[in-house]
Amino acid sequence: MTGPRSAVQALLASRPDQARAQAFLAGRRIPVVEGSSVTFLWNGQADGVNLRHWVYGLESATALTRLEGTTLWHLTLEIPAGSRVEYKFEVWRSGGSTWVEDPLNPNRARDPFGHNSVLQAEGYQAPGWSRPDPLARPGTLEPLAFDSPTLGRRTGHLYLPARFRRSRQYPLLVVHDGSDYLNYTGLKTVLDNLIHRLEIPDLVVALTDSPDRLREYANDAGHARYLTEELLPHLASRFPLVDRPQARCLMGASFGAVGALSTAWRYPGRWGRLLLQSGSFAFTDIGTHNRRGPLFDQVVGFVNEFRGEPRAVSERVFVSCGMYESLIYENRSLVPLLGATGMDVRFVEARDGHNWENWRDRLREGLSWLFPGPLMLVYE
């Protein structure tokens, strides 16, 4: 018994000419999502077209097939509901290829390397709280410049909530790769909205940047000292901060998550909240070199040591990772160890990859669990 024919199947079976293939595209949402069946389409002259994506576990390049007699290329894949997949097309012409965004799909995501097209599978919706809300009072951003005795000149941004008053006290959130979080997750908008909705309290947020993040975030003693012994007292001297570990959070993604956890590990009990997104928690079960290469040697040494003797370094830890990332195995392996130390751990997986909008989509759940606002305290 067979089910009803999909729109794409019907088109292919009709052996369409160019005009009919062109008409099929008109006004249609591309890629075509029909349940879990997703059809990618490319229309144009080419010698070959590949789908390029960053879904770990699938072939990274999958060829589209040209519909005979037309310039329409197609590829149908099974993509689970709720997925969000970033991709490009690799278009071959005259012996060379270029990677391009999907001109038929208006959904784009930005990252430090440019733009990607975005497949939004059935059931996925970008969260409303990630978009500007005219009712939310905007907080302010001001430049952060600090001369660290350990690391030298440090820059970034400071976020102050709209109702900031020096007569009140505030929790502190320190964000690794702060400018990237601002640019690619819309973190300021997210903070404005979550504070407006009373899902998190008013916060002071230090958005820090590093000129050498792959070294400094990889369990570097100088970086941990800078955050804990230099930046934290500096901010406490400038702003009315709550002086309790439960009111201090370190946050980061990828290597930034390693920087957050390793800093807390070097200063146990100082940072009572951790938000770790898609952490690059590479480790080995034998030997000291991970398959990811020498760039990860410092990380491997740290994670191996933590795995060998897990201990509580914070009180509450939120961990998130995309199911389509190669790092999902490392994050799934780390979570039970964190929980076994007695720390309160929440782990969230999403059908997404190693990208900024995945990290954006997890911010509401992570921040409101680590720093519940008045509304969340009522309903939790």
pLDDT of residue 380: 54
Distance of alpha carbon 170 from its chain centroid, rounded? 26
pLDDT of residue 375: 79
Which residues are within 8 A (CB) of 291 and not within 5 positions of it... i.e. 6 or more apart?
Answer: none
Compute, in degrees rounded to 10, the torsion defined by CA atoms 260, 262, 268, 270: -30
Q: What is the pLDDT of residues 299-327, one digit of tens each?
A: 999 999 999 999 999 999 999 999 999 99
Per-residue pLDDT of the chain (380 residues; tens, 9 = 90+): 456 678 888 998 898 999 999 999 999 999 999 999 999 999 999 999 999 998 988 888 999 999 999 999 999 999 999 999 999 999 999 999 999 999 999 999 999 999 999 999 999 999 999 999 999 999 999 999 999 999 999 999 999 999 999 999 999 999 999 999 999 999 999 999 999 999 999 999 999 999 999 999 999 999 999 999 999 999 999 999 999 999 999 999 999 999 999 999 999 999 999 999 999 999 998 887 888 888 899 999 999 999 999 999 999 999 999 999 999 999 999 999 999 999 999 999 999 999 999 999 999 999 999 999 987 766 55
Q: What is the pLDDT of residues 116-130, one digit of tens each?
A: 999 999 999 999 999
Helix (H, G, I), strand (E, B) or coil at 226: helix
Q: What is the pLDDT of residues 336-366, one digit of tens each?
A: 999 999 999 999 999 999 999 999 999 999 9
d(CA 366, CA 140): 22
| C-beta of residue 259 within 8 angstroms of C-beta of residue 276 | no
